[in-house]
Amino acid sequence: MKHRQIIGCLLAGALCATPAMAQELTGTLKNVKETGAITLGFRDSSIPFSYLDDNQKPVGYAMDICYKIVDAVKKELKLDKLEVKLNPVTSSTRIPLLANGTIDLECGSTTNNAERQKQISYTNTHFLTASRYVTKKASKINAIDDLKGKSVVSTAGTTNIKQLTEANAARGLNINIIPAKDHAEAFLMVETDRAVAFVMDDILLASLVAGSKAPDDYTISKDAFSKPEPYGIMLRKDDPAFKKVVDAATSALYTGGEAQKIYDKWFTQKIPPKGLNLNTPISAELKNEFAKPSDSPDPDSYK
Amino acid sequence: MNYNWNWHIFFEPNPTGAGTYLDLLVSGLWLTIKTALLAWIIALIFGTIIGILRSLPSKAASWISFCYVEFFRNMPLLVQLFLWFFVLPELLPRTAGLWLKQLPNAPFWTAAIGVGLFMSARVAVQLAAGIASLPRGQKQAATALGLTTTQGYRYVLLPMAFRIIMPPLTSEFLNTVKNTSVAITIGLIELTGQARAMQEFSFQVFEAFTAATIMYLAINIIVVTGMRFLERSLAIPGYITGK
């Protein structure tokens, strides 16, 4: 009896809900349809994910993925023309601008973790990176334990500085941890010998080294402070219709093999503006993720 | 606006493992207060010396103070801190530079001294203006009484000049507190730095910066009230500033 009631309720609910879903657009999709425009948030120096090239045009791996998402949205809404607006964001402005509707997608290198998911949603992971450190070859640091008693810098407010703090306490390394304002300044501290090492996502370290005055002077560690953590493109929370379209688009891109081509273009070939080559072939974890796209914030789910 | 407000965030544990998010902000607040106080002491000491030099009749003294004031007040504070922190050690001999770079707490000392010297130029100009605003007869009377120049400044000119410039000094003190926030560029994680760290960890941007705003307002209200109180207790009836 009870079961029948529940089934009845579900059926009634489904009958009412289905036509409404099909006709009425909600959230971001509705907004995009009405204005005929979608806004992408980009970072100015997150190489190679999202940055400005020599024409001051935002380019990058995450930008390419976002343009594919835009195509999918255009198709979903059956629009002839969809204007793409671009809006610069920083790590401080990305949340407010996403929340207040200035941008619809944030195309950059934002780490996906459980705490942040209380505020925003992510689509399928587009990159995985572990926390490592860069040192000058001359300082002869070969393992995390060699950092004992030295000054090490990391960027304030990142998960990396947190992992460094934890490792420092757990292994009794007695490291003097210096927080820096941003990645460029942290790298400058290593360049000017204020610190022997800089702990950061390995891919960001690779781009800083590639762009430095003497790339051959630096080496990135084999030792890692963390498991590979996911990067995701951010969208507003509680907008299931839009998330469904975006997830379907990235999923098709990743499983269809096209993402691999985009990856190779940005990570294994020369990229603008200076013709740097990051020489970072795709990792086994990311290859798995491309086969089975996921938006999980848990590093353990990407094995 | 699609934003998930969470005012309880302040009482949730922060990911550095040391207490709550509120503790994070309060530790930043202490650092702001310490930096501001030290910077203000430096500003008062150097400002007074340079202000006096500026009001002396000697050509050399006024030339020195002119150079000092123009050097420190014509460059943005951000640039100055950057110069002190990153450029100065490179200009020194290698060993001295390396020693300077590896001093513990380098961002704190650099910030306090950098902000202090920047503000000292402003204090100097105000003190010189305060001294210039006194009637010429004051200085002449001091000389006629047989006071030396030092004694004249110590007992006659400075006590009056400082009372006159009390209100603008209050503003400068407030500016000193606010200017310490520029020190995040050299890695001093004071109140603004901790608010930024909090928003990076939790993504609760508005809560973090609302709390920082309230804390800055609170310190500055305390400074204003304290300075007003000081001003009133120092007022002497019959002087320009007394009633």
pLDDT score for A162: 85
Q: What is the mean pLDDT of residues B167-172?
A: 94
Of B3, B106, B197, the CB nearest to A156: B197
Q: Phi and psi dihedrals of A92, rounded to 5?
A: -85, -30
At residue B171, does pLDDT exceed 70? yes
User: Could you give the percent of chain A with pLDDT greater than 90?
Assistant: 65
A116 vs B2, B184, B203: nearest CB: B203
Question: Do residue A121 and residue A251 come from a single domain?
Answer: yes
- Based on the domain organization, do A266 and A150 belong to the same domain? no
Contact A149/A175 with Cβ under 8 angstroms? yes
Residue A10 forms part of a structural domain: no
Asked whether this complex has an ipTM greater than 0.95, the answer is: no
Give A-chain residues touching B184 at CB under 8 angstroms.
Answer: 156, 181
Cα distance between the two ends of chain A: 46
What is the DSSP code string of chain B? ------GGGGGSBPTTSSSBHHHHHHHHHHHHHHHHHHHHHHHHHHHHHHHHHHHSS-HHHHHHHHHHHHHHHSS-HHHHHHIIIIIHHHHS-HHHHHHHHTSTTHHHHHHHHHHHHHHHHHHHHHHHHHHHTS-HHHHHHHHHTT--HHHIIIIIIHHHHHHHTHHHHHHHHHHHHHHGGGGGGGT---HHHHHHHHHHHH--HHHHHHHHHHHHHHHHHHHHHHHHHHHHHH--TTSSS--
Verify that A121 and A165 share a domain, yes or no: no
Q: A3 lies in a domain? A: no
Confidence bin at B237 (pLDDT 50/70/90): confident
- According to the model, what pLDDT value does residue A18 have? 46
pLDDT at position A178 over 60? yes
What's at A244, amino acid-wise?
K
DSSP characters over A68-137: HHHHHHHHHTT-S--EEEEEE--TTTHHHHHHTTS-SEEEEEEE--TTGGGTEEE-S--EEE-EEEEEEG
pLDDT digits (tens, 9 = 90+) for A74-127: 999 999 999 999 999 988 889 899 999 999 999 999 999 888 898 999 999 999
Least confident of A129-138, B48-57, B232-241: B232-241
CA distance A64 to chain B (A): 25
pLDDT above 50 (res B204): yes
User: Where residue B111 falls among pLDDT bands split at 50, 70, 90?
Assistant: very high
Higher pLDDT, B241 or B155: B155
Residues A295, A238 share a domain: yes
Q: What pLDDT score was predicted for residue B224?
A: 96
The helix-helix angle for B205-234 and B191-202 (nearest 10°) equals: 160
**A167 in B contact zone (CB under 8 Å):** no
pLDDT at B241: 61
Same domain, A179 and A59: no
Report if residue A297 sits inside a domain: yes
Question: Where is the domain boundary, A162, A196, A220?
Answer: A220
A31 & A124 share domain: yes
The answer to whether residue A15 sits within a structural domain is no
pTM of the prediction?
Answer: 0.81
Contact A194, A185 (CB under 8 A): no
What whole-number distance in Å separates Cα of residue B62 and Cα of residue A300? Answer: 69
Q: Please say which residue of A158, A185, A220 terminates a domain.
A: A220
Indicate the pLDDT class of residue A2, thresholds 50, 70 and 90. low
In a domain, A225, yes or no: no
Same domain as A139, residue A113: no
- Chain A partners within 8 Å of B90 (Cβ): 192
A158 in any annotated domain: yes
Distance CA A10, CA A31 (A): 30
Rounded Cα–Cα distance for residues B63 and B1 (Å): 58
> Are residues A183 and A206 located together in one domain of the fold?
yes
Candidates A89, A91, A194: best to mutate against B (most CBs of B within 10 A) is A194
Q: Could you tell me if A123 and A237 lie in one domain?
A: yes
In this prediction, residue B238 carries a pLDDT of 73
Question: Helices A240-255 and A61-76 sit at what angle, rounded to 10 degrees?
Answer: 120
For residues A174 and A148, the answer to whether their CB atoms sit within 8 Å is: yes
Encoded tokens for B157: 């000119």
- Check if A165 contacts B (Cβ < 8 Å): yes
- With cut-offs at 50, 70 and 90, classify the pLDDT of residue A7: low
- Whole-angstrom Cα distance, residue A159 to residue B200? 9
Using the Cβ of A150 and the Cβ atoms of chain B, whether some distance falls under 8 Å is answered with: no
pLDDT of res. A20: 45
Contacts of B98 in chain A (CB under 8 A): 193
Residue that the structure tokens 């009633």 belong to: B243
Closest CA to A91 of A190, A9, A193, A159: A159
Q: Structural domains in chain B?
A: 18-234 (1.10.3720.10)
On whether residue A12 sits in a domain, the answer given is: no
Encode A154-183 in three state secondary structure: EECCCHHHHHHHHHHHHHCCCCEEEEECCH
Q: Which domain holds residue A263?
A: 26-128+230-302
Residue pair A255/A293 in contact by the 8 Å Cβ criterion: yes
Give A193-230 pLDDT, tens digit per residue. 889 999 999 998 999 998 899 999 999 999 999 999 99
What total number of domains does chain A contain? Answer: 2
Q: How far is CA B91 from CA B75, B94, B95, in A?
A: 19, 8, 11
Arithmetic mean of pLDDT, B177-194: 91
In tens, the pLDDT along B24-50 reads 999 999 999 999 999 999 999 999 999
- Residue A16 confidence (pLDDT) above 60: no
Residues from B contacting A (CB-CB < 8 Å) are 1-4, 6, 15-17, 86, 89-90, 98, 101-102, 104, 106-107, 184-187, 189, 193, 196-206
Over residues B6-22, the pLDDT tens digits come to 999 999 988 777 789 99
Which of B31-50 are b and which e, b meaning 16 or more Cβ less than 10 Å from the residue's Cβ?
Answer: bbbebbebbbebbbebbbeb
The end-to-end CA distance of chain B, in Å, is 54
Taking residues A140-165, report their average pLDDT.
89
- The contacts of residue B220 (CB under 8 Å, 6+ apart) are B174, B177, B178
Residue A1 pLDDT > 80, yes or no?
A: no
Domain match, A176 and A235 both: no
**What DSSP character marks residue A43?**
-
Looking up residue A178, the CATH number of its domain turns out to be 3.40.190.10
| Domain end point (choices A220, A246, A274) | A220
Give the pLDDT of residue A23: 55
What mean pLDDT comes out for the span A32-45? 93
Mean pLDDT, residues B208-224: 96
Higher-scoring residue by pLDDT: A45, B6? B6
Q: Give A-chain residues touching B198 at CB under 8 angstroms.
A: 157
Are A113 and A37 found together in one domain?
yes
Pairwise CB contact (< 8 Å): A119 & B4: yes
Q: What is the pLDDT of residues A260-302, one digit of tens each?
A: 999 999 999 999 888 888 888 999 999 999 999 999 999 999 8
Same domain, A116 and A255: yes
Which among A100, A162, A181 has CB closest to B187?
A: A181
Of residues A124 and A9, which shows the higher confidence score?
A124
Asked, for residue A203, whether it belongs to a domain, the answer is yes
pLDDT at A67: 96
Pick from A166, A181, A237: which is nearest to B2 by CB?
A237
